Structure 1
Amino acid sequence: MFATVLEETLNGLRILAECNNELRIHKTKTDKPLLLAMKFNVKQPDTTDELDGIDHQNLGCMEYKLKKLVADRKYLANVMISTYTELALHNSFQCLVGFVNQAVHRNDHLPLLCEDEAKNKIVRRDLSKQLRQQRNHIKSVIYDTDVKIDDLKSRVEDSVLYSECRSRYVDNWQLARTEQHLQTIKDKETIPSESIELYKRKNELEQRIHSEIELLINISINDTLQKVDDWMTKYDIDMEAIDLKIQYKKNDYQNMLDKRVELETTIEKHDTLIKDWKQFKEEREKARQYHDKMTKSAITVQAWWRGLIVRRQLGPYKIVKNKGLSVGAARKKNVS
């Protein structure tokens, strides 16, 4: 009877795992990188510790919850299968006792882990304190060094400013002497230079007038010739454009006619494909409903028949009445 209970429990676990579609979808989304790597034969790193890669700051995420749920279900299924196998083969519960002892040992080992964690926190606090002291020392040294560097920079800037002032004074003095000499030369050469410039301007004015008159005449002649050429060119271009436009219109009409015929053919093909697809979906849905109905019916009949033979003690559950044996011994012999 205990083996039958284990068998029913395993069937219930398997049905629970297979029927929870939402959980399976979340698990598939979570394991998507691993599934893609397995699909394309990407070698995975060997991980001996199951705690590797766990973020301690995000322990409540959906990925860790799903992994914990799947691990618990696998562990429970392994316990049930091992117990059922040992009970069927050796008629003992040593495997179940081993799992229980393992759980007790794990609970006993938990306080030691908590104590180690407390010690590690104390060590980490001391190291953090030393690190802060070292950082403060480094900051003080850096501050003193920056002060010395600023002092040296200020000295260098003062020397540069003094040299710039001296050079500016010398340059201005040289400019003043140069302007004085230039003004003296200009005062002596002003009257002859003005006479020369006057005659130069008159000569340039006459030359400019002659050149402008000649340029105007040439521009008028060139404009007349250009207009004649433009009108002749415009006539030729307009005739070519009209002929080209007529040819384009012919080609567009022919293309639209071909496109219309092609679209009509495509629409007819699409109508045929849509009808075939609708018929295929209807037949597939009927077949699926029939398969689901037959599966559920078979499960119901199997459960009813198993309950019937257990209640009425038929088949392997039938009680054999042997002489010289008690009722309890006979039942134990039948079960074994």
Structure 2
Amino acid sequence: MPPLRLVSEVKGDWGTGSAYEVEASEQKMVTSLPTRASGRVPLVVHTSLEKLDEQEVLKDETLISLPFLHSALFATVLEDAIIEMRILVECNNELRVIKTMTDMGVHLALKYGVSQPDVKDELDEIDANKLDCNEYKLNKLDNDRIWPMVALTNTYIRLVRDKTFEALEESVSKIENLDKYRGELFEADSKNRLMRRDLNKQLRQQRNHIKSVIYDTNTKIDELRSKVEDASFNTEIRSRYVDNWQLARTEQHIRKIHDTEATPTNTIEYYKQRAYCEQRVHTEVELLFNIIINETLDKIEHWMNKYDKDMEELDLKIQIKKNDYQNMLDKRINFEETIEKHDIAMKEWVYFKEEREKARLFVKKMTNSAITIQAWWRGLLVRKQLGPYKISKKKGEDKKKKK
């Protein structure tokens, strides 16, 4: 083991923490973080400065480093948090088993040496029709648990190695950029929804326009058909009149027969025309009713689409409100837990101050008592002329007293 040199030592109610440094010839630093009163083994971090390349060294020179004592204290706090989080994760056996069963395909591929892609996109394995399945929720929960562990571990390493919070700043900036990116995606989605709504509106207008044009065209076609039928009917009447006129001039009996049959023929023609007119009226009425029915169906379709859109918007708003309520509930629970922790810390600090004040008063009282006793004793020695205050007798006086 290389020779170590004591750099600093910190004492408190939580225990004692010592920081050591390797001699310059070894180019290594060993940091022993503070140990709890419970007797937990301290965590020792070995960092080799030889592994840093020139870019990292130049980058670290521009950073603002913390004092060694502050960085060690911050690292101690992060160490406790990392260990507690690791214990919580390791204790959740059920979640680990479910996660292992979910990732069984990946584990088998790694076991049998199946090549994995170098760059893996998260969206490749996501099915839009199964967004509410437990597998995606489990992956999201696992990623949310891994991220704070990685962030705290990187921050802990950078605190011990460089005495900076650069890793924590990078993690926070990543989260902020992710939130910003999600906000941009939400705005783009809103714009796309508006654009799709406008396009659907234009499509419906085009359909209505096409239907109106088709209706006008069919009306013109019917008018042309009626004109053609009238022309053919008039042609037949004229040809019949000419033939009958010629027959009347050539044959009188045919004229008489024609005169005899003219009244029934006209009656038949009259009723025939009447039946034809009734048929045309019936056709027009039927066409009108068909148009009314089609318009009613279009209106029903329009209102059904509007109802579906309104229900989708209401469902979206309800989901947003639910998410907001869940976020507020999570924030409130976090605030309550933070307040409880602060309350416990304040009570411990008040108890520590009371005990410290009691110890100080006891030391002060004992010091005053010792001073009082010492002053009394010295005054007694002076009054009684004892000890160092005893009066020494001269030699001549002793001889006189003997005689």
- TM-score for the superposition, normalised by structure 2: 0.30
- TM-score for the superposition, normalised by structure 1: 0.36
Bigger proportion of residues as strand: 2
Bigger proportion of residues as helix: 1
